[in-house]
A and B are shown apart, each in its own frame.
Chain A
Amino acid sequence: RKEVEQDPGPFNVPEGATVAFNCTYSNSASQSFFWYRQDCRKEPKLLMSVYSSGNEDGRFTAQLNRASQYISLLIRDSKLSDSATYLCGILTGGGNKLTFGTGTQLKVEL
């Protein structure tokens, strides 16, 4: 089993739709969780950290389910500009080592 798994997609959704991605992780000792956004041929950029209590930033909501070992990202009212690949990053160990999933590709269409 991979350390971090994501559905690669693509998820094709109409503008204004709500879409959700999950990311599962295998190491129960994982400490911190992140969602990064990566545009085509660009570097990953931190979208948001994922806290135990969940967190929200505008149209984006991230949640953590430690019992089932997954994190989720919900995007409401999708915009064309949300089209990108969403990478989850899981921090395990004391050295700030991030393990990334393969990414989930989102395409928002008119």
Chain B
Amino acid sequence: EAGVAQSPRYKIIEKRQSVAFWCNPISGHATLYWYQQILGQGPKLLIQFQNNGVVDDSQLPKDRFSAERLKGVDSTLKIQPAKLEDSAVYLCASSYLAGATADTQYFGPGTRLTVL
């Protein structure tokens, strides 16, 4: 079974530039998550989609971050404009279902973003 795919794997940009990350979840997984993991910290949920609807975006800095999952499969996360503190690994995860019953989240390899 193919895992969660992400691209690019690495990105270096200057502050105030824009950047976009792409995620393809495991086939058949309805729920997709974007996490930000800053060095030395655990992953922090930015946004959660179920199919193409947003379930939780309470920790997404909406003034500069946006995400979409238009067809309920692939997703993109965009940062515009980037700040130095956005340097982190951006992890995409997917799970088969979401809801009251816990469902295993599978993570992609992540995109390592460096903002100079």
Q: Which residues of A contact B105 (CB under 8 A)?
A: 46, 96, 98
State which of B31, B107, B110 has its C-beta within 8 Å of the C-beta of A45. B107
Q: Known contacts A42-B109, A43-B110, A102-B40: does B99 contact A94 (CB below 8 Å)?
A: yes
Bound: A71/B56 CA distance, A:
26
Interface size counted on chain A using CB atoms at 8 A: 25
With A95-B56, A100-B43 in contact, do A31 and B100 touch (Cβ < 8 Å)? yes
CB contacts between A and B, total, < 8 Å: 56
| Complex interface: chain B residues within 8 A of A27 (CB) | none
B45 at the interface (CB under 8 A from A): yes
Supposing A96-B95, A98-B45 touch, asked if A43 and B108 sit within 8 A by C-beta, the answer is yes
Residues from 28 to 51 in B contacting A, C-beta threshold 8 Å: 31, 40-45, 48
- Provide 27 A-B residue pairs closer than 8 Å at the C-beta atoms, listed in order of the A residue: A31-B100, A31-B102, A32-B102, A34-B102, A43-B110, A44-B43, A44-B107, A45-B107, A46-B105, A49-B102, A87-B42, A87-B43, A91-B102, A94-B99, A95-B48, A95-B98, A95-B99, A96-B31, A96-B97, A96-B99, A96-B103, A96-B105, A97-B48, A99-B45, A100-B42, A100-B44, A101-B42
Residues of chain A at the chain B interface (Cβ within 8 Å): 4, 6, 8, 31-32, 34, 41-46, 49, 87, 91, 94-103
* A46-B104, A103-B42 given; 19 more Cβ-contact pairs under 8 Å: A6-B42, A8-B40, A34-B102, A43-B108, A43-B110, A44-B43, A44-B91, A45-B107, A87-B43, A91-B102, A95-B56, A96-B31, A96-B48, A96-B103, A97-B48, A98-B45, A100-B43, A102-B42, A103-B41
